[in-house]
Chain A
Amino acid sequence: MIIATNVTKKFSKLTALDNVSVSCNKGQAISLIGPNGSGKTTLIKCLLGMVVPDSGFITFNKKNIAHNWQYRSAIGYMPQIGRYPENMTIAQVLDMMKDIRKQKAVQLDEELIYLFKLDGMMNKRMGTLSGGTRQKVSASLAFLFDPEVLILDEPTAGLDPLSTEILKEKIRKEKQQGKLIMITSHILSDLDDIITEVIYMEEGRLKFHKSLSQLQLDTGEKTLSRAIAHVMQAGL
């Protein structure tokens, strides 16, 4: 579904992505893993068209995404830090997004709004919300349009354990509906029971892209975090 071919991106001297090629398909739940500054977020931004690669290309459903914007209607994105116009209320932000994406055919998926109990604070201004609540809004927005692809950048950061569970449950549910889900997260234990694939990056390079079962087999570790720790030590 999403295929990146030889994608390279440099920010002045720093090479954020170095000749990265990946291919992601429907029904997969992919975890993007790597140390800080390994290029995970840059890769995601490339997929979303927020960062333009220096070389290489990315296709979405076999169409090149360069100079294309319509494809993003099939993506739900939850950013690492969600900041919104301070003086808008939650209701207005939701309305705005609904307005912008105006896909009539799609049934809106407002489940998360209710699960996170955002419906009770619709008239609060974004500027007054806590970081966690803003994350909830971001998550709700990502799932709102029932997109084929979900890109979640550190989805559980800042969320309380209860909300994390709600979110994980939601992700699992969507995965079962055959969606492509990409997650970056530092807290690896959160991901164990959701993900099917692992993409491991280091210093802008793709180290490996395997299914979770393959990784467990290769490393002989049961949990994702231990498997990754094993990989990192081996790398050293």
Chain B
Amino acid sequence: MKKIIKYVLLDLLRNRIIIAYTIFLAVISLSVFNLEDNPSKGILSLLNLVLIIVPLVSVVFSTIYVYNAAEFIELLVSQPLRRVNIWLSIFTGLASSVCMAFLVGCGIPVLIYAPGDTGLMMTAMGLLLTIVFVAIALLASVLTRDKAKGIGVAILLWFYFTLIFDGIVLFLLFQFMDYPMEKPMIVFSCLNPVDLARILILLKMDISALMGATSAIFRDFFGNQWGIAATISIMLAWAIMPLWWSVRKFNRKDL
């Protein structure tokens, strides 16, 4: 398995899109930090990058990569290898190279220009989101045979997680304004990895406001060590579940 990962990585690290993505992130992060005179505002500008662009690039790039590698995957499958290993290697290779791009392009500038809890949490969340959306991409591409359809599904999922879901939640919160919505809200958040990442970053970035919010939800659930640990585990589950499902599908897939 290590060997396949090695070669997938070798291929991906020289991939033009990965290199372009790294440069794109680096240019944005550096210009944000150099144009803003205070790093906390820079962090704020990068928040949207982490929550929107990172999932988009991760999911679309991974889907396209898997489709383009169809013949290569066939070749690997015809070799004496377990399918699980092939699939997990592709996942590992993809996830680590996109993560690497994020780390170099965004994580390192953040840690240099705005070291501290918030920057660290944002980098960690960027990496986690990358992994989650690579897993979602693998699932989308194993479920649909057609490349265009697969990419469409991937983009739709991204759109759902970054915008539609929150829109629905906001709508519900106002529809049921007179009811206690705190516990349902925790459940809602767990249904969306982007929300979880955002909340974890908020806990570092806006702790002063959150601790004073009339709603005690942050203090009581997300605000303590257990809450943070639980949230991170749920995010990991968001990576593991789609991956596990895609492995099952790939095991039975006709190539």
Contact status A84-B77, CB under 8 Å: no
Number of A-B contacts (CB under 8 A): 79
- Contact pattern, B 56-98, Cβ under 8 Å of A = 1, otherwise 0: 0000000000000111101111111111000000000000000
A70 at interface (Cβ–Cβ under 8 A)? yes
* Residues of chain B lying within 8 A (CB to CB) of residue A27: none
Of the A-B pairs whose beta carbons lie under 8 Å apart in the complex, a sample of 30, sorted by A's number, is A45-B255, A50-B74, A50-B255, A52-B252, A69-B82, A70-B80, A72-B78, A72-B79, A73-B80, A79-B75, A82-B71, A82-B75, A83-B70, A83-B71, A83-B75, A84-B72, A85-B7, A85-B10, A87-B11, A87-B14, A87-B15, A88-B7, A88-B10, A88-B11, A92-B7, A100-B3, A100-B4, A100-B80, A101-B79, A101-B80
Closest to A86 in B: B11
* Residues of chain A lying within 8 A (CB to CB) of residue B7: 85, 88, 92, 96, 99
- Min C-beta distance of A70 to chain B, whole Å: 6
A57 at interface (Cβ–Cβ under 8 A)? no
B residues 119-169 touching A (CB-CB < 8 Å):
none
Contact status A79-B252, CB under 8 Å: no
B199 at interface (Cβ–Cβ under 8 A)? no
Cα of A51 to Cα of B254 in the assembled complex, Å: 4
- Min C-beta distance of A103 to chain B, whole Å: 9
Cα of A48 to Cα of B80 in the assembled complex, Å: 10
B interface residues (Cβ-Cβ under 8 A, vs A): 3-4, 6-8, 10-12, 14-15, 69-72, 74-83, 252, 254-255
- Min C-beta distance of B81 to chain A, whole Å: 6
Contact status A50-B77, CB under 8 Å: yes
Closest to B65 in A: A85
Contact status B77-A48, CB under 8 Å: yes
| Contact partner, B78, options A79, A81, A85, Cβ 8 Å | A79
Chain A interface extent, by class: 20 to 34
If over half of B's interface residues share one DSSP class (helix, strand or loop), that class is named, otherwise mixed; here it is: helix
- Min C-beta distance of A197 to chain B, whole Å: 22
Contact A85 B80, CB 8 Å, known A50-B254, A51-B254, A79-B75:
no
Cα of A123 to Cα of B15 in the assembled complex, Å: 17
| Contact partner, B75, options A70, A84, A86, A99, Cβ 8 Å | A84
Contact status B254-A85, CB under 8 Å: no
Closest to A44 in B: B78
Extra contacts, 18 of them, besides A45-B254, A48-B77, A84-B72 (Cβ < 8 A), are A9-B254, A11-B254, A50-B78, A51-B255, A72-B80, A82-B75, A83-B70, A85-B69, A85-B72, A87-B14, A88-B7, A88-B11, A96-B4, A99-B3, A99-B7, A100-B76, A100-B81, A101-B80
Cα of A9 to Cα of B254 in the assembled complex, Å: 10
Closest to B77 in A: A50
Contact A69 B255, CB 8 Å, known A82-B75, A84-B72, A88-B10:
no
| Contact partner, A85, options B11, B74, B82, Cβ 8 Å | B11
Closest to B69 in A: A85
A49 at interface (Cβ–Cβ under 8 A)? yes
* Residues of chain A lying within 8 A (CB to CB) of residue B254: 9, 11, 45, 50-52
A71 at interface (Cβ–Cβ under 8 A)? yes
Contact status A77-B78, CB under 8 Å: yes
A187 at interface (Cβ–Cβ under 8 A)? no
The listed residue with most B CB atoms (<10 A of its CB), out of A9, A11, A96, A97, is A96
* Residues of chain B lying within 8 A (CB to CB) of residue A81: 71
A224 at interface (Cβ–Cβ under 8 A)? no
A residues 93-151 touching B (CB-CB < 8 Å):
96-97, 99-101
